[in-house]
């Protein structure tokens, strides 16, 4: 039984599970601004992109498989494939290398990408190929490019996409360097956590292009002015993804938070601020700023990229909080 075929009777289960997932995403309001994405999620079968995945169990991972000899476990695999949850799809020595993102977050990101007919899109992080299939359904194969560093990941993504009837460009390479031979791009969507905004992307973007991706536990939406300048706000949505591998700066050492109040040490938004300023802002200074500004939420922050320089700011791009902060989050 191949990845394209299901046991008799499981086709109905797949259809009902996919319909339930679409209703759940719709109820979340993820695509309220662009309901055409509903058609894509209705049409693209997620189970074709996760013929197996891993479920965390005590001491490691349990593999769920679409060709498990036990029918009940196959049914469990199929239901899990349509859960509104991220799925671990590639694990090596206990380290998560690749995953299929939570569908409602994917829908939110695709909506925020604000694509229009005719737009060219570069996806950084091929994953299972599911996101590229949704983009291909919306825009057409010729306008979609997805890139990943790992040839095993791109090979499997290409197979999954072909099984689902889609043939976008799937490139094996360092996503931080983009895909210049397929440029220019109207949109870049990133499905792995960034430690900075790779400068190679900007010259590959058309003027006015939009870059959307996870940065500092948030989602940054940048507008590209030209090959050296981009700027934008974070969305309200938190986001946690597998890190981008390749030619990227290393993640900073976690800051020491001893001496700060308990709520600061445990608050997600305060940790976002610390990650955004990459430890270049002393944690106590960050705490004073956080309190003075009434514990600002993600969407009050933004990032400006200008040539070799970049900085995070609060409310006003001309007034970065406490000065300009380089490093992870800003480059």
Question: Alpha-carbon distance 316 to 314, whole Å?
Answer: 6
Q: Does residue 57 register a pLDDT over 90?
A: no
- The pLDDT tens digits for 245-267 are 666 666 665 566 666 777 777 78
Q: How many residues does the chain have?
A: 331
Pick the closest to residue 102 from 243, 215, 299, 241 (CA basis): 241
Between 6 and 164, the more confident residue is 164
Residue 64 has pLDDT above 60, yes or no: yes
What is the per-residue pLDDT across 67-85, written as a single tens digit (0 to 9) for each?
Answer: 999 999 999 999 999 999 9
3-state secondary structure of 241: coil
Please report the pLDDT score of residue 239 as a whole number: 86
Two structure tokens written together for 233: 């706000």
pLDDT value at residue 255: 63
- Per-residue pLDDT, averaged over 274-280, amounts to 76
Give just the sign of the alpha carbon dihedral 130, 136, 142, 144: negative
Comparing C-alpha atoms, which of 164, 165, 152 is closest to residue 126?
152
Which of residues 166 and 308 earns the better pLDDT score?
Answer: 166
- CA trace torsion 40, 45, 51, 54 (10° rounding): 60
Label residue 283 by pLDDT band (50, 70, 90).
confident
| Domain boundary assignment for the chain | 10-238, 249-331
Per-residue pLDDT at 5: 61
CATH homologous superfamily for 10-238?
Vaccinia Virus protein VP39 (3.40.50.150)
Q: Which residues does the annotation mark as catalytic?
A: 98
Strand 205-215 with 185-190, pairing:
parallel
pLDDT band at 94 (very low <50, low <70, confident <90, very high): low
- Vertex 180: Cα angle to 174 and 181 (nearest 5): 110
Nearest-CA neighbor of 211 among 305, 107, 139?
A: 305
**Strand residue runs (E) in 93-143:** 95-100, 121-124
């Amino acid at each position: 039984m191949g990845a394209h075929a299901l046991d008799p009777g499981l086709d109905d289960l797949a259809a009902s599970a996919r319909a339930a997932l679409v209703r759940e995403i719709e109820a979340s309001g993820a695509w309220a601004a662009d309901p055409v994405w509903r058609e894509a999620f209705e049409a693209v079968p997620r189970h074709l992109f996760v013929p197996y995945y891993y479920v965390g169990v005590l001491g490691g991972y349990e593999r769920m498989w679409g060709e498990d000899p036990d029918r009940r476990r196959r049914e469990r695999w199929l239901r899990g494939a349509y859960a509104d949850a991220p799925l671990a799809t590639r694990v090596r020595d206990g380290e998560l290398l690749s995953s299929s993102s939570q569908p409602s977050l994917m829908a939110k990101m695709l909506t925020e990408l604000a694509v229009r007919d005719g737009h060219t899109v570069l996806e950084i992080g091929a994953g299972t190929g599911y996101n590229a299939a949704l983009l291909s359904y919306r825009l057409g194969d010729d306008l979609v490019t997805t890139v990943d560093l790992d040839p095993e990941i791109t090979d499997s993504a290409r197979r999954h996409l072909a099984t689902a009837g889609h043939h976008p460009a799937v490139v094996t390479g360092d996503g931080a360097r983009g895909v210049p031979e397929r440029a220019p791009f109207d949109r870049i969507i990133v499905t792995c956590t960034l430690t900075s905004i790779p400068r190679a992307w900007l010259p590959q973007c058309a003027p006015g292009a939009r870059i959307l991706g996870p940065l500092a536990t948030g989602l940054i939406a940048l507008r590209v002015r030209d090959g050296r300048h981009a700027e934008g706000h974070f969305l309200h949505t938190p986001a946690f993804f597998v890190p981008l591998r390749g030619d990227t700066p290393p993640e900073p050492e976690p800051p020491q938070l001893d001496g700060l109040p308990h709520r600061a040490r445990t608050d997600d938004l305060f940790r976002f601020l610390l990650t955004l300023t990459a430890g270049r802002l002393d944690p106590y200074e960050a705490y004073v700023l956080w309190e003075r500004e009434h514990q600002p939420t993600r969407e009050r922050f933004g990032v400006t990229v200008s040539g070799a320089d970049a900085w995070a700011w609060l409310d006003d791009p001309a007034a970065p909080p406490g000065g300009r902060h380089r490093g992870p989050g800003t480059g």
